[in-house]
Amino acid sequence: MVNKRGFASDNNAGVHPFILDAMASVNDGHVIAYGDDPYTEKAIRDIRQHLGQEAGVFFVFIGTAANVLGLSSATRSHHAVICPETAHIHVDECGAPEKFTGCKLLTSETPDGKLTLDLIARHMHGIGFEHHVQPRVVSITQATELGTVYSIEEIRTLADYAHEQGMFLHMDGARISNAVVSLDCDLYEMTAGAGVDILSFGGTKNGMMYGEAVVFFDPNLAADFKYRRKQGMQLSSKMRYIAAQFSAFLEKDLWKKNARHANRMAQKLYLAVKDIPGVRVTQKVEANAVFACIPPAVIAQLQQEYFFYVWDEDSSEVRWMCSFDTTEADIEGFARLLTTMLVN
């Protein structure tokens, strides 16, 4: 069976061969289950090379779990989490944050998926008033769900404000690799260095099979996380296979190479479609996504050749995601098809 590539999502892609090989390479004999094994030890060490020797690093299965359990570590049920209305934790986790933490999410509309001080401040009332939930975490996504990227200064500003108010800054880094290469910075300065307290460090959208890391820069937050992970049904028995993926992901900059490629493909796609009549790109292309409004009439046929999702039915806005395995030919073929359909 040959599965056609499209632009639906970076998690529609398969697994990078180097990672697959790494998984096979640890398949020898017995090691203690649940993470007390040398591969897991090494993977944690590898991540700490990037995120600091003090970082608390815990593997879970998926990004939703990384987000929810990370938030849970910083909250009690009467707290609230401030996030953009487009945040994955608000829109795409079927209420898992509320179910598991008990907390309310306080959302703000944004033009570009990014929180600002003003958007946070509108939720900062009723502090100390027992009838209201108490804001405790600010959660941002980097790169955002709209393909935009916070600058390090923007993150630092949010972190400083959060800390002044006794809050924590959480970063959903499902696409953090794409943000790192977009800003051409290193991982530490975008996270711990900019004041982030809790990081969901994702790899599945960038060539891994499964597995995500929750990283705490404040050891207090990590203190009883091992119980939270187990109770949160996220403790893998054969942990070595997640560990092997992360080590391979970080080795020889595979994570950056994959992300750089995906971002470059998005730029190419952007350039190829932005001037086609009827196409209006709606967001800055800073990572691996292109958002655009296109005529509703062409969507269905286009999807048949290159599958993708409609983001907003009302405005006929669509999302095109590039991934580590998107090819130049994919972009060219897609742009050619779109041109043909619209320029007639």
Site for a copy of itself in 189-218 (CB under 8 A): 204-205, 209-210
The least CB distance from residue 315 to a copy of itself, in Å, is 13
Which residue number, 182 or 206, has a Cβ lying nearer to a copy of itself? 206
Binder of a copy of itself out of 13, 214, 302, 322 (CB under 8 A): 13
Task: Tell me which stretch binds a copy of itself (CB under 8 A): 44-52, 225-233, 247-255, 267-275.
Answer: 225-233
Phi, psi of 266 (to 5 degrees): -65, -40
Which residue number, 15 or 342, has a Cβ lying nearer to a copy of itself? 15
The least CB distance from residue 280 to a copy of itself, in Å, is 22
Phi, psi of 146 (to 5 degrees): -105, 15
Site size toward a copy of itself, by CB under 8 A: 79
Tell me which residue of 70, 92, 71 sits closest to 11, measured CA to CA: 92
- Other CB atoms closer than 10 Å to residue 105's CB: what's the count? 22
- 126-165 residues in contact with a copy of itself (CB under 8 A) are 130-134
Phi-psi group of 176: left, alpha or beta (phi > 0 → left; psi -120 to 50 → alpha; rest → beta): alpha
- Other CB atoms closer than 10 Å to residue 212's CB: what's the count? 27
Which residue number, 204 or 283, has a Cβ lying nearer to a copy of itself? 204
DSSP output for 96-111: HHHHHH-PEEEEE--S
The least CB distance from residue 68 to a copy of itself, in Å, is 6
337 binds a copy of itself (CB under 8 A): no
String marking each residue 29-68 x if it binds a copy of itself according to CB under 8 A: xxxxxx---x----------------------xx-xx--x
Which residue number, 188 or 241, has a Cβ lying nearer to a copy of itself? 241
Separation of alpha carbons 74 and 295, rounded Å: 44
Chain centroid to Cα 274, Å, comes to: 25
Half-sphere exposure for 2 (CA within 13 Å, toward CB) = 1
Q: What's at 20, amino acid-wise? A: L
The least CB distance from residue 191 to a copy of itself, in Å, is 22
Cα separations (Å) of 135 from 34, 79, 104, 251? 34, 6, 9, 38
Sign of CA dihedral 140, 142, 146, 149: positive
18 binds a copy of itself (CB under 8 A): no
Give the tokens for residue 257. 């190479």
9 binds a copy of itself (CB under 8 A): yes
In angstroms, how far is the first alpha carbon of the chain from the final one? 35
- 227-286 residues in contact with a copy of itself (CB under 8 A) are 227-238, 240-241
- 71-110 residues in contact with a copy of itself (CB under 8 A) are 76-78, 80, 91-96, 98-100, 102-105
The least CB distance from residue 30 to a copy of itself, in Å, is 4
